[in-house]
């Protein structure tokens, strides 16, 4: 098995295809979304706006931001009819496991396009599942609200403040797409077999679930809680890295400098104003982790990734930890579906080769 360790099993640096949707420049620390730097559009065009941008030319039904908002509203209302069945069949499952089942309940064909139905369904299923965990009945969606505002309203049973809506909307926009990351690539592989949109999105969701990809922000807060006080930071971090632990919210396969999404989300937390103490503590942990990684793992170029400030931002808005990864899926669903449509239109069956390093059959030896 030694030879396997030397193979490029993570496909580092491999260009697996072309896309017009997004570009991650890991050396410059920039993210381009269809011709716009993330910082130009985050907090400006809104979640429906980024969906319209990503879906443009790929989806005949979408159109502009308002048109997408209307479609999402219709999709949420349609999906709400499935909520009783979803709650029944997902007893005892975590929210991300239940969302996997929820996407599986959607038929391939329907009145609205499959990607619109799926994105809208995630926006409705998640708050219903989270309310179930608190013993509360689901709240019906309001098709006239934006996705972020309606998700928070359905979660809390009352309208959210404008600042919380803006924060969640910026989060969903910031994480909407990110090149050929693991979940997007998984979705594209399934799309390449012509299995259909819903199957491809389920694949994306399953890949996102893992702690090395979308499952990191909950553990980021667990880490901050475990460290507890400023006085403990240096020792805790040193011991964890020496023990070989992976500190959640740090490191990235492509970014070799700071992830630009981390800065966007950090400023969202700062603007909320209510989380100043936690933000200062997290900043001290971040500095200690970066400095200790530089010292103990020289040359690895490990920096802060999106998940570190995602965790703080979602905590500041009062989102429960078990909702962090499924909420990531709500945002990323528009990117996945854009990639699936691009793959369906322009791609071919994805079928790489492998290099055989097993034993040679006796007859041929």
Residues taking part in catalysis: 252, 307
Kindly give, in sequence order, each residue whose CB lies less than 8 Å from that of residue 303, ignoring residues fewer than 6 positions away: 250, 251, 252, 255, 256, 257, 258, 259, 290
Among 128, 167, 306, 323, binds ligand ACO (CB under 6 A): 306
Nearer to ligand ACO, 96 or 114 (CB): 96
What distance in Å separates the CA atoms of residue 16 and residue 8, rounded to the nearest whole number? Answer: 14
The region of 88-96, 144-152, 302-310, 337-345 touching ligand ACO under the rule CB under 6 A is: 302-310
Using DSSP bridges, classify how beta strands 30-33 and 36-37 pair: parallel, antiparallel or unpaired: antiparallel
The reply to whether 302 sits near ligand ACO by the rule CB under 6 A is yes
Nearer to ligand ACO, 142 or 238 (CB): 238
Among 297, 318, 345, 357, binds ligand ACO (CB under 6 A): 297
Among 247, 269, 330, 341, binds ligand ACO (CB under 6 A): 247
Cβ 58 to ligand ACO shortest distance, Å:
23
User: How many residues bind ligand ACO, per CB under 6 A?
Assistant: 20
Nearer to ligand ACO, 154 or 216 (CB): 216
Q: Count other Cβ atoms within 10 Å, centred on residue 68.
A: 28
Shortest-Cβ-distance residue relative to ligand ACO = 251
Nearer to ligand ACO, 23 or 253 (CB): 253
DSSP assignments along 271-333, one per residue = HH-TTHHHHHHHHHHHHHHHHHHHHHSTTS---B-HHHHHHHHHHHTT--GGGHHHHHHHHHH
For the four alpha carbons of 189, 194, 195 and 198, in that order, the dihedral sign comes to positive
Cβ 304 to ligand ACO shortest distance, Å:
9
Among 1, 5, 8, 10, binds ligand ACO (CB under 6 A): 10
Cβ 226 to ligand ACO shortest distance, Å:
15
The reply to whether 186 sits near ligand ACO by the rule CB under 6 A is no
Task: State the residue for tokens 């193979």.
Answer: 7
Using DSSP bridges, classify how beta strands 36-37 and 22-25 pair: parallel, antiparallel or unpaired: unpaired
Element (H, E) at 13: none
Give ∠ CA 123-65-152 in degrees, rounded to 5.
30
Which residues in this chain contact ligand ACO in the complex, by CB under 6 A?
10, 212-214, 216, 241, 246-253, 297, 300, 302, 305-307
């Amino acid at each position: 098995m030694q030879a396997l360790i030397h193979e490029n099993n993570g496909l580092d640096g491999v260009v697996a295809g072309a896309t017009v949707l997004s570009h991650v420049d890991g050396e410059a620390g920039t993210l381009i979304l269809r011709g716009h730097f993330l910082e130009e559009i985050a907090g400006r065009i809104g979640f429906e706006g980024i969906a319209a941008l990503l879906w443009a030319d790929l989806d005949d039904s979408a159109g502009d931001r308002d048109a997408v908002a209307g479609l999402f509203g219709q999709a949420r209302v349609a999906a709400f009819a499935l909520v009783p069945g979803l709650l029944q069949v997902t007893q005892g499952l975590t929210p991300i496991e239940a969302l996997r089942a929820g996407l599986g309940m959607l038929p391939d064909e329907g009145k609205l396009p499959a990607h619109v139905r799926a994105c809208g369904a995630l926006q409705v299923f998640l708050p219903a599942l989270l309310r179930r965990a608190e013993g509360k009945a689901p709240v019906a969606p309001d098709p006239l609200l934006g996705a972020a505002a309606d998700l928070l309203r359905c979660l809390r049973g009352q309208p959210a403040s404008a600042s919380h809506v803006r924060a969640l909307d910026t989060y969903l926009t910031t994480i909407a797409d990110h090149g050929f990351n693991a979940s997007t690539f998984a979705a594209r592989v399934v799309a390449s077999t012509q299995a259909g949109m819903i199957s491809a999105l389920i694949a994306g969701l399953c890949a996102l679930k893992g702690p090395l990809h979308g499952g990191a922000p909950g553990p980021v807060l667990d880490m901050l809680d475990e460290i507890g006080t400023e006085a403990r930071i240096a020792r805790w971090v040193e011991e964890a890295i020496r023990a070989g632990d992976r500190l959640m919210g740090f490191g990235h396969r492509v970014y070799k400098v700071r992830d630009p999404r981390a800065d966007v989300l950090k400023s969202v937390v700062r603007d909320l104003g209510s989380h100043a103490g936690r933000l200062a503590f997290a900043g001290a942990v971040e500095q200690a982790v970066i400095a200790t990684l530089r010292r103990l793992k020289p040359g690895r170029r490990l920096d802060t990734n999106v998940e570190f400030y995602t965790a703080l931002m979602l905590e500041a808005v009062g989102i429960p930890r078990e909702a962090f990864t499924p909420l990531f899926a709500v945002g990323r669903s528009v990117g996945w579906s854009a990639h699936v449509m691009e793959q369906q239109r322009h791609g071919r069956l994805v079928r790489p080769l492998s290099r055989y390093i097993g034993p040679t059959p006796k007859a041929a030896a």
